[in-house]
Amino acid sequence: MKRLAILGATGSIGASTLDVVARHPERFEVVAITGNQRADILFQQCLRHRPRYAVIGEPAQAKALQEKLRAAGVATEVLAGASALEMVASLPEVDTVMAAIVGAAGLAPTLAAVCAGKRVLLANKEALVMGGALFMAEVRKHRAILLPIDSEHNAVFQSLPPDYASDPTRAGIQHIWLTASGGPFRTTPRERLQRVSPEEACAHPNWSMGRKISVDSATLMNKGLEVIEAHWLFNLPAQAIRVVVHPQSVVHALVQYVDGSVLAQLSNPDMRTPIAHALAWPERIEAGVTALDLPTLASLEFSEPDYARFPCLSLAYQALEAGGSAPAILNAANEIAVAAFLERRLPFLAIHDVIAETLGALVGRPVKHLADVMAVDAEARSIAQAAVERRRC
C-alpha cells in the first residue's frame, strides 16, 4: 500500500492522479490533498477519497471547508497556507508525494518532500527550473526517489537503461529528443500572433491542461522549461537535449544512442499514462487510457521548431547555458508575463520581450540555498512586473 500526498490535487494533474488512484484502492491510500482556492473541488475530493488532511490557501477558506466537511460526516482535518503544504509533503505516514502545484509556489513543498526522503512524482517542472542544482543535491543527500511526470521526461526515463542514474557515461547516449506538439499556434503567422487571445492560447490541440502550462505550450516556453528540466533530471548538457515538433503528440520523447539505435515511448496523449507509470514504478498498472491503435494513426510527423516565431525556446537554452540564477530569472519573468497575458494586460508576443528584458536586467549569480532562489525569484518578478506595465495593452 502506498500512502500519498497530492500537492495541487484540484488541478489538471491532480485530478488525473486521483482518477488513477481510484482505479486501484488496494494499492493507494490518499493521506493528504491540497488546492489553493477551489474549495468546492477540494470538498468533493475529500468526500470521495477521505484523506486525513486537506490544505487550502487561506485560513478563512479552511474554516468554511472544515465546517462543511464536518457537517457531511467527513473527518478530514483542514489546514491553510504554505507551511501546511510543507507539513503534509513531509508527513511520516506519507511515502509518495505527487508534486503538481503550478509554478514557483511548488518549490518549497516539493523540496520539503525531497528533504524528507520521499518518493517524489514531479510534475511541477518550475521547481527544477528554478533551483535545479540545489534540488538535485537534496535528492542525493536524502536518497529521495525522483520520478518524472512530465510526459516527455517520463518517456525519456522509460527509454533509458534502468541503471542509468548510477553511471550515465556507460549508457552511450548521443542525445535525447523532447517532442513538442507545436501548440495551438504551430502554423499561425507571426502577424496574427500579435492579436491572439488567452482563450485561443489555452485551446491546446492535443492536451487538456491548466491555463499557465497551456500558454507556455503556445509560446513553446513549456518546451524550454522542459529542456532545463531534462538537464537536471538526466544529467545531460544543453547540446544533448534537442527539441522536435511532432503535432500528433504520440511519441513523447526519443533517446538516440551512439550505436544508431533510437528508443522512444509512445502513447495516446493522456497524462494518466505517465502518472500511472510513476505511481506504480517499477510495476505497471492500468491507467484508464485508450490503447494506441497504430493502424488508425494516419501519420507521425516531425520537424524543426521555428525559433523565429517561438523565440522563448531560445531564451530557455540561453538561460540553461548561462546557469546560476538565470533559469530562476527566466521562470519568474515567464510567470509574471503569462499571468499578465491571461489577464489581457499584455499581448502574446510581448511575453518573450518581458522575459528577455528581465534576463538582461539582472546579473546571474550562484544559487546555493532555497533563500537565494527565492530572493532571485522576487527580484526578477518585480523587474518583470515593471516591464509588463510599460507594455500594457
Q: Which residues bind Mg ion (CB under 5 A)?
A: 150-152
Q: Assess contact for 107 and 81: CB atoms under 8 A.
A: no
CA distance 68 to 63: 9
CB of 46 or CB of 253, closer to Mg ion: 253
The piece of 2-10, 155-163, 284-292, 301-309 that touches ligand NAD (CB under 6 A) is 2-10
Q: Does 18 bind ligand NAD (CB under 6 A)?
A: no
Q: Does 279 bind ligand NAD (CB under 6 A)?
A: no
Determine the angle formed by the axes of helices 221-234 and 125-142, rounding to 10 degrees: 10
Which of Mg ion, ligand NAD, none does 213 bind, CB closer than 5 to 8 A by kind? ligand NAD
CA distance 55 to 57: 7
Burial class (CB in 10 A: 0-12, 13-18, 19+), 200: middle
**Grid coordinates belonging to 207:** 492536451
Which of Mg ion, ligand NAD, none does 14 bind, CB closer than 5 to 8 A by kind? ligand NAD
Q: Which of 205, 210, 347, 364 binds ligand NAD (CB under 6 A)?
A: 210
The piece of 202-210, 239-247, 259-267, 329-337 that touches ligand NAD (CB under 6 A) is 202-210
> Which is nearest to 187 in space by CA: 311, 301, 312, 309?
309
Q: Which residues pair with 263 in a beta bridge?
A: 255
CB of 9 or CB of 315, closer to ligand NAD: 9
Q: Does 224 bind ligand NAD (CB under 6 A)?
A: no
Phi–psi pair at 385, nearest 5 degrees: -60, -45
From the CB of 172, what's the least distance to ligand NAD, in Å? Answer: 28
Q: Which residues pair with 53 in a beta bridge?
A: 32, 77
Local structure of 354: helix, strand or coil: helix
Local structure of 297: helix, strand or coil: coil
Q: Does 178 bind ligand NAD (CB under 6 A)?
A: no
Q: Does 219 bind ligand NAD (CB under 6 A)?
A: no
Q: Which residues are CB-contacts of 204 (< 8 A; sequence separation ≥ 6)?
A: 181, 183, 184, 214, 217, 218
CA distance 37 to 239: 40
Q: Does 101 bind ligand NAD (CB under 6 A)?
A: yes
Q: Does 13 bind ligand NAD (CB under 6 A)?
A: yes
> Which is nearest to 81 in space by CA: 49, 36, 44, 45?
36
Q: Cα dihedral angle (213, 168, 276, 9), rounded to 10 degrees?
A: -40
Q: Does 132 bind ligand NAD (CB under 6 A)?
A: no
Q: Assess contact for 342 and 351: CB atoms under 8 A.
A: no
Q: Does 193 bind ligand NAD (CB under 6 A)?
A: no
Q: Does 124 bind ligand NAD (CB under 6 A)?
A: yes
Residues 350-389 touching ligand NAD, rule: CB under 6 A, are none
Task: Report which residue's Cβ sits closest to ligand NAD.
Answer: 11
From the CB of 57, what's the least distance to ligand NAD, in Å? Answer: 6
The piece of 3-11, 179-187, 352-360, 382-390 that touches ligand NAD (CB under 6 A) is 3-11
From the CB of 150, what's the least distance to ligand NAD, in Å? Answer: 4
Q: Which of 31, 62, 98, 102 binds ligand NAD (CB under 6 A)?
A: 102
Binding site for ligand NAD (CB under 6 A): 8-14, 35-37, 100-102, 105, 123-126, 150, 207, 209-210, 212-213, 271
